[in-house]
A and B are shown apart, each in its own frame.
Chain A
């Protein structure tokens, strides 16, 4: 029971933190808030997760939440992969431009 209270406090704090977090797009904020709100609902009413799990053909609610967290983590990893790739491409372009701008002719001929 103690852990449940701890979870409720943690999730509520996170919910409020995200709610007042500046510089977030509305879509991203709504997504995180819905996710945390869902977790809060499951923490308050654990039997609900079992009911939903049964609806999807899963016996235990905890299994349903386990699968759900896996999917969420996969999604987050994918989003961060996309961001990483974008940053890598930008960084490469920058390094390339610097290299081209600072091309050095080691021999007697001019590079241009």
Chain B
């Protein structure tokens, strides 16, 4: 680590954003106070997301069209790995995550005891989580654990940390939300050690509106099954 206030430049924070003009400036400004290298992936936003970041110390990568959360994550990982990142954190742009949790993930990652750290809302706290979302996440958890023989409580949390080895291993081809399970499979196949720590996720009216619909779970399931058949 560099100083107590900011983390050294080998730590990259990836923030994926799609039409987040309402909140992204505040989210990134909070991150800027503690992290040196913030990479924002503007996933083909049609609003002023990119303009909102003007003047902030961030590196902006723009997809020319909207590709999806998985594609944006892989773009961020590829950029970070090829630009000297040793530790990579992923942070949602909609204001659900807390910077303190990201720092805790980084600390655990830098201890060298694991390759990947997932934030878990089920080990920690969820504020104002909609019931349908909770049920959906629990079903996804059961499905992921069965499919990949894991014991994770929240593999679909956007707050994660990777060391360089784990990030370089990932090659996500699922552009949509099914990327989370694909990532888990690749990490398992690469024998990466995964740990979870409790985090707080706060659902605001904004994040609830922005979140994926419950029906989208069916699409994710189809993507996953087809993806597995295609291997």
Which residues in A have some Cβ–Cβ distance to B below 8 Å?
Answer: 81-82, 85, 88-89, 92, 95-96, 98-100, 102-109, 111-112
Count of B residues near A, CB < 8 Å? 27
CA distance A80 to B79 in the complex (A): 32
A106 close to B71 (CB less than 8 A): no
CA distance A106 to B49 in the complex (A): 13
B57 close to A107 (CB less than 8 A): yes
B191 within 8 A of A: no
B58 within 8 A of A: yes
Q: How far is the CB of B78 from chain A (nearest CB, A)?
A: 6
Partner pick for A81 among B36, B62, B75, B226, CB 8 A cutoff = B226
Q: Give the residues in chain B near A89, CB-CB below 8 Å.
A: 173
A92 close to B175 (CB less than 8 A): yes
Closest to B173 in A: A89
B57 close to A99 (CB less than 8 A): no
Closest to B65 in A: A95
> Given A100-B79, A100-B82, are A95 and B64 neighbors across the interface (CB < 8 Å)?
yes
Known interface pairs A96-B71, A105-B60; 17 further A-B residue pairs with C-beta atoms within 8 A, sorted by A's residue number: A81-B226, A89-B173, A92-B74, A96-B63, A98-B64, A100-B82, A104-B60, A105-B59, A106-B53, A106-B54, A106-B55, A106-B59, A107-B57, A107-B58, A108-B57, A109-B57, A111-B59
Q: Give the residues in chain A near B55, CB-CB below 8 Å.
A: 106-107
A102 close to B78 (CB less than 8 A): no
CA distance A92 to B171 in the complex (A): 12
> Given A82-B230, A92-B175, A111-B83, are A103 and B59 neighbors across the interface (CB < 8 Å)?
yes
B67 within 8 A of A: yes
Q: Give the residues in chain B near A109, CB-CB below 8 Å.
A: 36, 57
Q: Give the residues in chain A near B127, CB-CB below 8 Å.
A: none
